[in-house]
Structure 1
Amino acid sequence: MVPKFYQHALAMAFAINEINRNPKILPNVTLGFHICDSYSNARLTYRTTLNLLFKRQRFVPNYECDGQKNLQAVIGGLGSKTSFLMADILGLYKIPQFTYGSLAPGESHTSQHPFFYHMVPTEDRQYMGIIRLLQHFRWIWVGMFVADDESGERFVQLMETLFSQNGICSAFLKRIPPQPNLGNLDENIITVLLKLYEPLTNQKAMACIIYGESVSIAWLRTIIFLQDPENIEYWIYRKVWITTTQIDFVLPGPQRPWDLQMFEGAIAFMIHRNVHLEFGKFVQNVKPGWNERDGFLKDFWEQAFDCEFGETVPDSEKCIGEEKLPGLPGPVFDTHLTGHSSSIYNAIYALAHALHAVYSSRSRCKTMVENPDGFLQHLQSWQLHPFLRRLSFNNSEGETVSFNEKREIGGGFDVMNVVIFPNNSFQQVKIGRVVPGALEGDEVMIDWDRIVWHRGFNEVVPISVCNEYCHPGFQKKSKEGEKFCCYDCALCPAGRIANQTDMDDCFKCPEDEYPNENKTRCLPKHVIFLSYEEPLGWGLALVALSFSLITAWVLGLLMKHKDTPIVKANNRDLTYTLLTSLLLCFLSSLLFLGRPGKLSCLLQQPAFGIIFSVAISCVLAKTITVVVAFMATKPGSNMKKWLGRRTANCIVLSCSLGQAGICSVWLGTSPPFPAFDMQSLTEEIIQLCNGGIVIMFYLILSYLGFLSLLCFTLAFLARKLPDSFNEAKFITFSMVVFCSVWVSFVPTYLSTKGKQMVAVEVFSILASSAGLLICIFAPKIYIILLRPELNTKEQLRRWKKE
């Protein structure tokens, strides 16, 4: 037997003793019990079950004779296999059977075992708790030691599915024998055990899950003993052991001298246990001879205290009977109720309350009054089921005990941290619990700061990964042929960041932010526009204002000398209009400077297009005037009627109206508006004017290009006409400059971003306007100011003769 499990028998005796002394439950009725050991053997399990039902020495199924046992219910074995073997027989007689060991989800089919009552929730409630634990500490490379049986296979299938759904990988999967016979280790068993040694020293998979029978811990400790008997290199075996509810930290008799230091800091999912102080007092009274019918006490005592009973035993090895159970280390015996013992305790009380309910429902019968024990003699065990299914009572801790529709006790599991002391005793500290019915992500509640780790980790939270984490700024890159938990780290591509450790993919920053140099975080983008405060802005503004003043001065100078031949020669009104439009051209460039607003965006392009159209129209009218004037001097020509202000005004007005029409359509359909361009530049947000329909802007430029080309063609043809103060040659030069500026503007404009794009357009406006001003009016100013002798009628007549 396993000494620690003797507590299960004591828990049963303790509970029945309490009930028999309690006048509120089954008054004047005495409950008895019988405990058998199945030795984990199917044949003995069947025989023992039949022995419980029928006469001890001779039994015939379904045949009553001299002393049929008054069996009302049975508590199954700790292992699920034993419980199912018993159910094969007990189910035939509809006898209630209580299970106090946890069952895998696929094992607890209500339809297959209709008379099972589960004192422990099914294991699936702890599975998500394990997943949340692994996720919290980011343990994604996890080893598994699983019992080599059907339950273990079912556990592996469920956990592998949960692993893949939650980004976790199994580093290895090792099978361990489900029912170890630690007293008889043959060569085959030793060979199997030694194959399990290498995973125990795996320094990557620091988190390991153990699933199996209650004594599976003993197998792992045996492996270490076979390889390292002196336990010299204990630090090699440092792990974070995660154990399931069926696992218990126990050392059977042959292993009693060993320690469990390798399991220090283990995190155990355990059945909720009662804190019953009276049980501790009850255990103190247990000693050899305390109950003559206790067939387990002698074996337990000899194994627990490593002594023997008998007259021929040497005094040094003899059991004196005065040994105390509270002095035993935890792996050998625990004086506090364990989770399994608590389940047995609750099962006894559940049966007692059900019997009491039956007793209360029949208390009016005369036979019941005369003979309170009589109802048990006539009660059939199957009659208890309706009362058990409706059962609800409060246990010693005030917790409600009742069965759901699947005949399972509700509730979750406790999460314990195992603290092992140098003297091989240990303490299980409750650090959390698995909450039944909780929302996704809240299935487990753990006080993470209370966890004590294996001393080999030096109080640092252990890491359990296939390779080092990818630092911020890097993303995972899968390795060919490896599990997805094994990967390389690749630098985030341009425009993306990874602000956490071990990210699957880098992600883009919000539109108004950009990655820093290390690609670990996003920085806010700066809003840019062509401001007056910066050198480029105030430089362009200064140039625009300077040329505006120069244009105004030229206009004033020509108006002052308006009666001179050089001013009169080429239509003064056109000259004044041209200079005024050039003045407005220079000033219109200021609309492009500063923070874009609704009004400035609305006026920028239309003002530029219309004003420039007026200027080019004036130049075109001047050119046509020169051509018509020359043709009118020929004998018999009727072109004189086209000379005069009306023709010039019509040319300027019609050409300007064409551009005004284009701008009106633009403003009427999709007017420009202030906007932010967040994509063009990496680290800056461009505040600009969104032109709406982009083709309208290029339509304006095309119209200006058409007028300029027409004007250039006519001026080029008329450049050598023998006319006084002929402006055609100067207009040709001005059109060459104008066309050169705007032809180079288009590719430059398209290849720049942000405020440089605005600066290109402003520069083009200023350059083309200055070209017209200088090429056309510089000669006139030169004559007016420096060569006034040429600005006379005589000089005009002499040039005409030439």
Structure 2
Amino acid sequence: MVVLQVMLILLQIPLADLHTHVVKCPIREPLPTPQRYYKRGNFMIGASMSQVILFLDDEYSFHEYPISDSGSPIIVTKNYQHVLALVFAVNEINGNPKLLPNVSLGFHILESYFSAKRNYYTAIELLCTFGHFVPNFECEIHSNLIAVIGGLGAEASCHLAALLDIYKLPQFSYGDFAPTLNDQASSLIIYRMVPDEAHQYNGIVLLLLHFRWTWIGLVTMDDGNGDVFLKNLLPVFLQRAICPAFIGRVSTIHSFTDYFSVQNSWQETYSTIMGSKASVVVVHGETQAIMCLRGLLYQGESSDKASYSKVWIMAAQMDISAVNTHKGWTIQSFHGALAFTVHSQEVPRFQTFLQNLRPHDAQGDGFIQPFWEQAFGCSLANDEGSCTGEERLESLPGPFFEMSMTGHSYSIYNAVHAIANTLHAMRASTSWVKLHRGRLEHQTLRPWQLHPFLRSMMFNNSAGETVFLNKNGEFSVGFDITNLVTFPNTSFVRIKVGKMDPWARPGKEFEVDEDAITWPTYFNQVMPLSLCNDHCCPGYQKKKKEGEPFCCYDCVPCPEGKISDQPDVDSCSPCHQDQYPNTKQDKCTSKAVTFLSYTEPLGISSVAFAFFFALITVGVLGTFVKHHNTPIVKANNRNLSYMLLVSILLCFLCTLLFVGQPEKMMCLLRQMAFGVVFSVAVSCVLAKTVIVVLAFMATKPGGRIRKWVGKRLTNSIIVVCSLIQVGLCSVWLTTSPPFPDADMRSHMKEVVLECNEGSVAMFYCVLGYMGFLALVSFTVAFLARNLPGSFNEAKFITFSMLVFCSVWLSFVPTYLSTKGKYMVAVEIFSILASSAGLLGCIFFPKCYIIILRPEVNKKEMVIRR
């Protein structure tokens, strides 16, 4: 609105008089310039396009076209296809009697010289009748401007929309990707034929992640668009673990004086790009950006081949092949580059239209002469080295002109057809027909009346694609991912290797065909790596380097017990409990299931010793039974001896419960049987000791102590002491009984099946109670060791209890220090050793006398002794 006020002041038009006046305007031809293409029609389509690059002074007026004083301008010959796409689309529509019968489309295409500010003038001239430059007035012969296509770039689109929006003219932008315009959608009426740049950011990130490129160079222009690009992309990079190796800012030039001032900064940028070990460089900008980058690479190509060691990823704003402003330059540096390009399709008959194009047939085309002379290196004037006019466009190298329709041209083609289909829909609507003097006539169409139809517009173009605009006014099409393959003769081909379509169904938004990609020759057709350092192999994990970005790291082996089966893991992970790491620590191996079985040497030896000692115990018991009437058997209370021998026999046999695969019943019986049987055995020993002591104390006939000597006392001691242990075992079974378990932690490579004791406290209570009985027996026996030997068993009981206590005192630390099946083996050994100690210390001397010294085993000898 500020711009409008300034213009009204300059033109001396009061703001209050801002309305359309129909006057007879004085005819004044527009400023002379070859850079325009005009064709009259019932409805006119305006266009702002850029083909000529001029280095202008910072201040210039609109009194004459700047090209008149600019010397030899730079012609971006590829952009001439944009003009031809619009002309072809208009001709195609005018030749279709079904689309707009009895109505013709015209166009007025103006050159904007790649200058965003120039679009202010372009907008005013489009709004005026051709040849009548009177802003804000509608002449008797008016322009019938119905829509405008342009401009190339976000800033150019904004400048153009600032004036077109006043008149509510539909504007179709074919090169504006900037996401900032979404916030202005309510005020600026722009229909965008290309997707929002935010979708491109996502596509770039997905492409980098697909190839696992995390160390990336960024090159953008040193302007506002570059700032927006970095502001939006860098946070996404950090979220997806991608690091910028460097950020190069290329200064733009607007005048010849700028060229000399930016030489040093260009050289620094080139050194930064080529000095980095990042193999992938993302480049963002518009046409001038790619031309500046091409200039940078050309400076270093003669002495440095580093430019061939980069994979260039180009944003869709950049026409990657629009770089041959100098015929001596090649585009070999961009061989293998990947580019996001606006989606395009081959339009039928378009190449034929290009092949038939001749400069002398293009009436009113002010773009063709500079294009033709620049592209073919000749002159259309009648002098030496003149063009014949019969040169063919298909003979031009790709960097100068492409015969295939580019993405920008396809957008312009669709924009023209969108306008035509909208006009067709409006004319077919009954609301635009009125009764005048008994006849139905169409009302006069105004540009702002197209907007309701455009928002719901949908049609099929001649390429077979459905074209429609979404709710944000965007053409709902994604990006093509193209691979640039160059040849020594400066020609090239674009190969579509993927796509980025944010509107596709889930899972199909991003696709890329790796096998179809041609990589730069430096990499010898092997997918390049772009990392701060080499990948960490499986079996290793990342370790951050101090002072470096997170993409730079060292690789260290996984800690013991952990693995990494993928490269570049942040931290190693432990294996499942039933698995263990292999030697390389890159995968998990299933643990072997083990337990103390009957088939392994340790189990076989345990069973063998158990049966061996059991047979000895049976032999001793048989000997005692056979010689039950001998004095030595009678002197030591043969009933207690029988009971003790049976208890010892059961102790040996209970070790069999500890061998074999643990089961529920086995686990319940194992410790209970051991605890109760051993308590009975130790109780028998205690009863023997007490009887020996009482026997020597009851020397007086009829004394009180003599009454205690007998079966009643021994049975009481055995029953009471045993019942206490039975009570402890009952509490254990009731509260937290033992159960089968698998020990997966004790051994790295084995899963040990075992019996979990349930309550460890109860286990040690049972064991402690046995130790208490043994300690009491040892104490009593030790005190009675000096009584007369013929009747005294106390010495043997003392030794047996000493062995018993020694075994079980050493059992506790040994048991706690072992793992798995070896814990079971320690307990078996302790049971066998303590039982053998009781058997040997108490009964071996008696058996020796019974078997080898029978002459001593007589009443007379016992009494004598």
Q: Does 1:323 align with 2:365?
A: no
The correspondence of residues 672-711 of structure 1 with structure 2, limited to 5 A, is 672-711=738-777
Map 1:683-762 onto structure 2 (within 5 A).
Answer: 683-722=749-788, 724-762=790-828
Q: State whether structure 2 residue 677 is matched by structure 1 residue 611.
A: yes
Match of 2:175 among 101, 104, 108: 101
**Contact 2:170–2:189 (8 Å) recurs in 1:** yes
- What is the CA–CA distance in structure 2 between the aligned matches of 1:742 and 1:72, rounded to whole Å? 106
In the other structure, the counterpart of 2:409 is 341
Give the distance between the partners of 2:436 and 2:296, measured in 1 at CA.
63
Change (3 A) 1:126 1:733: same
Question: What residue is the counterpart of 1:61 in the other structure?
Answer: 135
Counterpart secondary structure, 2:287: coil
**C-alpha displacement of 1:251:** 4.1
Question: Counterparts of 1:340 and 1:298 in 2: how far apart (Å)?
Answer: 22
Matched, 1:9 2:80: no
What amino acid maps onto 1:278 in structure 2? R
- Give a deviation string over 1:134-193, Cα, whole Å, max 9, x none: 112111000011122222212212211111111110001111245777x88732132222
Matching residue of 1:287: 358
Q: 1:582 to 1:634 in 2, by over 3 A?
A: same
Q: Give yes or no for contact 1:71–1:381 (8 Å, CA) kept in 2.
A: yes
Give the aligned length.
790
CA drift at 1:239: 1.3
* Partner SS for 1:270: strand
CA distance in 2, matches of 1:757, 1:367: 111
Cα RMSD (Å):
2.0
Aligned counterparts of 2:185 and 2:321: Cα–Cα separation in 1: 35
1:666 aligned to 2:732? yes
SS of equivalent residue, structure 2 residue 851: helix
2:281 and 2:312 in contact (8 A); partners too? yes
Matching residue of 1:223? 296
Greater displacement, 268-277 / 79-88: 268-277
Deviations 1:264-293 (A, max 9, x none): 111111111021131000001111112220
Q: How far, CA to CA, are the matches of 1:600 and 1:638 in structure 2?
A: 48
- The CA distance in 1 between the partners of 2:106 and 2:94, in whole Å, is 9
| Aligned equivalents of 1:442, 1:144: Cα separation in 2 | 27
Give the secondary-structure state (helix, strand or coil) at the position aligned to 1:790: coil
Shift of 1:218: 2.0
| Structure 2 residue corresponding to 1:424, chosen from 466, 490, 498 | 490
Q: Which of 147, 158, 170 is the equivalent residue of 2:232?
A: 158
Bigger RCO of structures 1 and 2 (CA < 8 A, at least 6 apart): 1
Residue number among 43, 60, 79 corresponding to 2:153 in the alignment: 79
Q: What is the rounded CA distance, in whole Å, between the counterparts of 1:598 and 1:14 in structure 2?
A: 89
- Range that drifts further, 169-178 or 631-640: 631-640
Residue matched to 1:35: 109
Does the 8 A contact of 1:284 with 1:324 survive in 2?
A: yes
- Equivalent residue for 2:699, pick from 630, 633, 648: 633
1:297 alignment counterpart:
368
Cα distance, 1:438 vs structure 2: 5.4
Taking structure 2 as the reference length, what is the TM-score of the superposition?
0.88
Q: CA deviation at 1:452?
A: 1.2
- Aligned-partner Cα distance in 2 for 1:750–1:277: 87
SS in 2 for 1:170: strand
C-alpha displacement at 1:486, in angstroms?
0.9
Match of 2:284 among 207, 211, 222: 211
Aligned to 2:658: 592
- Three-state SS of the structure 1 residue aligned to 2:218 is strand
Partner of 1:449: 515
Q: Distance in 1 between matches of 2:307 and 2:501?
A: 35
**1:181-196 superposed matches below 5 A:** 186-196=259-269
Percent of pairs with identical residues: 52
How far, CA to CA, are the matches of 2:406 and 2:107 in structure 1? Answer: 21
Shift of 1:92: 0.6
- 1:452-491 matches, within 5 Å, as 452-491=518-557
Farther off after superposition, 438-447 or 319-328: 438-447
Which whole-Å CA distance do the structure 1 matches of 2:312 and 2:669 have between them? Answer: 74
Shift of the alpha carbon at 1:250? 2.8
User: d(CA) in 2 for partners of 1:428 and 1:416?
Assistant: 6
Q: Distance in 2 between matches of 1:185 and 1:330?
A: 30
Corresponding residue SS for 1:69: coil
Whether 1:436 aligns to 2:502 is yes
User: Residues 578 and 590 of structure 2 are in contact (CA less than 8 Å); yes or no, is this contact kept in structure 1?
Assistant: yes
**Amino acid in structure 1 at the alignment position of 2:776:** L
Determine if the alignment matches structure 1 residue 309 to structure 2 residue 380: yes
SS of the equivalent of 2:146 reads: coil
Contact preservation (8 Å) 1:55, 1:69: yes
Are the aligned partners of 2:117 and 2:156 in contact in 1 as well (CA < 8 Å)? Answer: no
Residue 267 (structure 1) aligns with: 338
Aligned mates of 1:367, 1:211 — CA distance in 2: 57
The one-letter code of the counterpart of 1:649 is N
- Is contact 2:314-2:320 (8 Å) kept? no
Distance in 2 between residues matched to 1:262 and 1:297, nearest whole Å: 30
Determine the structure 1 residue equivalent to 2:16.
none
Instruction: Determine the C-alpha separation between the residues in 2 that align with 1:130 and 1:180.
Output: 30
TM-score normalised to the size of structure 1?
Answer: 0.95
Deviation at 1:219, TM superposition (A): 1.7
Among candidates 568, 576, 582, match of residue 502 of structure 1: 568
* Structure 2: distance between partners of 1:659 and 1:218: 96
The more displaced of 237-246 and 55-64 is: 55-64
User: Which of 119, 122, 131 matches 1:45?
Assistant: 119
Q: 1:369 to 1:535 in 2, by over 3 A?
A: farther
What's the secondary structure of 2:518's corresponding residue? Answer: coil
SS in 1 for 2:771: helix
The 1-side partners of 2:712 and 2:534 are apart by 87
The answer as to 2:213 corresponding to 1:130 is no
Separation of aligned partners in 2, 1:491 and 1:632: 78
Matched, 1:144 2:218: yes
What whole-Å deviation, never above 9, does each CA across 1:330-369 have from its counterpart, x for those lacking one?
1110111111100000000000011111111257445699
**1:248 and 1:588, CA in 2 relative to 1: closer, same or farther beyond 3 A?**
same
Structure 1 residues 368 and 504: CA distance shift in structure 2, 3 A: farther
CA distances 1:473-512 after superposition (whole Å, capped 9, x unpaired) = 2211111111100111222112111222111111111111
Deviations 1:595-632 (A, max 9, x none): 11112111110010000000000000000110111111
* Residues 541-582 of structure 1 deviation map (CA, whole Å, 9 limit, x = unaligned): 111110011001111111010111111112111111111110
**Greater CA deviation, 525-534 or 738-747?**
525-534
Instruction: Name the counterpart of 1:90.
Output: 164
Task: Name the CA shift for 1:177/1:13 in 2 (closer, same or farther; >3 Å).
Answer: farther
- Write the letter of the residue equivalent to 2:286: E
